[in-house]
Amino acid sequence: MVERVEQDEAKGQWSAIVALFRDATPMTCSHWNSQTGDVFRVRSSRRQRALVEAFEERLFDEEGWCEVPFMESDDAFALMGDFAGDLAPGKGRSELLAALAQDKPFRGFRQILKKRPGLDRRWRKVADEEAAVRLVMFCLAQGLVMNHPEFRKAEKMIRAEWDAADRAEGLVAASGLSLGKRAK
């Protein structure tokens, strides 16, 4: 189930790749080809095994495929808790916080969002913003850059945060190098 994402459709490409990063879980096979714009996403299951096996052959034959990292469950739980905690007091907030306190918090959280479309839209926006940051950080770590305004905006924010963290630790960039050295 490889989707072709056209390179000239920058907005569509950005949205498709952000969604790939947002929806990646330990139970999905999620890959992105940074050279062609193709994305591959299949929920791992016995029924889908043939699709995954066929894709794995392609994965080794073609260049540019990257496995999309998923968000660790502790981080996802914290993001959901922050989202629920930032809501104004009311029924939606209390339902989400109660769901997060249950045995299966992810399932309960999703069930509450299904019943509340407005809340679901707000959650999707938060989840997309977080996925965009993870996408940009992933690209920067791989030496990739996307020619898209949202990428550049997120990259600028991330680099500013890194610079602030370096200054807080007393690191100063050495001129002409990407290395840092301790400030005197």
Question: Please, are residues 44 and 27 in contact by the beta-carbon 8 Å criterion?
Answer: yes
Q: Apex CA 143: angle with CA 139 and CA 147, to 5°?
A: 65
Q: What is the pLDDT of residue 172?
A: 56
Q: What is the pLDDT of residue 178?
A: 42
Query: If you average pLDDT over every residue of the chain, what do you get?
Result: 82
Please give the average per-residue pLDDT across 84-99, as a whole number.
94
Residues 46-69: tens digit of each pLDDT: 677 788 888 888 888 888 888 899
Residue 109 reports pLDDT greater than 70: yes
Residues 4-30: tens digit of each pLDDT: 443 444 445 888 899 999 999 888 888
Residue 126 reports pLDDT greater than 90: yes
Question: Please, are residues 80 and 95 in contact by the beta-carbon 8 Å criterion?
Answer: no
Please give the average per-residue pLDDT across 95-111, as a whole number.
95
CA distances from 14 to 60, 67, 127 (A): 25, 17, 14
Label residue 132 exposed, middle or buried (CB < 10 Å: 0-12, 13-18, 19+). buried
Residue 81 reports pLDDT greater than 90: yes
Sign of CA dihedral 146, 149, 151, 155: positive
Q: How confident is the model at residue 104 (pLDDT cuts 50, 70, 90)?
A: very high
Count of Cβ atoms closer than 10 Å to residue 66 Cβ = 15
Rounded Cα gap, residues 2 and 41, in angstroms: 7
> pLDDT: is 169 or 99 the higher one?
99
Residue 147: partners with Cβ closer than 8 Å, 6 or more residues away = 10
Residue 177 reports pLDDT greater than 50: no
Please give the average per-residue pLDDT across 113-140, as a whole number.
94
Q: How confident is the model at residue 77 (pLDDT cuts 50, 70, 90)?
A: very high
DSSP 85-148: HHSPSSHHHHHHHHHHTSSSHHHHHHHHHHH-HHHHHHHHHHHHHHHHHHHHHHHHHHT-----
Q: pTM value?
A: 0.76
